[in-house]
Amino acid sequence: MEHLRITVAGKAYDVVVEKLDSSDTATPVAPVQVRSAAPAAARPAPSAPKPVAAGSGDATSPLAGIVQAIALEVGAPVNEGDLVITLEAMKMYTAINAPTSGTIKAILVKVGDAVDEGQVLYTIG
């Protein structure tokens, strides 16, 4: 059994996957037909999350990943190059360091959050 995290449309799901080798026989599963309560034309289109534009002092994620650690709190002084957030992507950790010196004004993510490339993580003022 393997534990995996799969992200679909920006939402992370933790799943358990069983590996089968050639000697194992899988039980066939009958397909399930899903019917919608309303015709497609009558259903509202799903709204995509509105991206937040990065402004002055905003630090953005260089890649998609999962927030593993947050080293500083709001109000903490920070120097250019200090570690602020650690991201995990494909079992590799990436340090997100402060691009400038200042004070942490806002942290917009929490440990365990799935983030996208370009997403604002925190603000320095």
pLDDT one-digit tens code per residue, 21-62: 666 565 555 555 555 455 555 555 554 444 455 567 899 999
94-117 burial, b at 16+ Cβ within 10 Å, e below that, comes to eebebeeeeebeebebeeeebbee
Fold of 58-124: OB fold (Dihydrolipoamide Acetyltransferase, E2P) (2.40.50)
Alpha-carbon distance of 120 to 103, in angstroms, equals 16
Q: Taking the domains of the chain in order of start, what are their residue ranges?
A: 58-124
Query: Can you read off the two tokens belonging to residue 53?
Result: 């534009």
Distance CA 118, CA 9 (A): 16
Segment 72-76 shows an average pLDDT of 95
Query: Which pTM was predicted?
Result: 0.57
Both tokens of 85, joined, read: 């957030």
Q: 3-state DSSP helix/strand/coil percent for the chain, to nearest 5?
A: 0, 40, 60
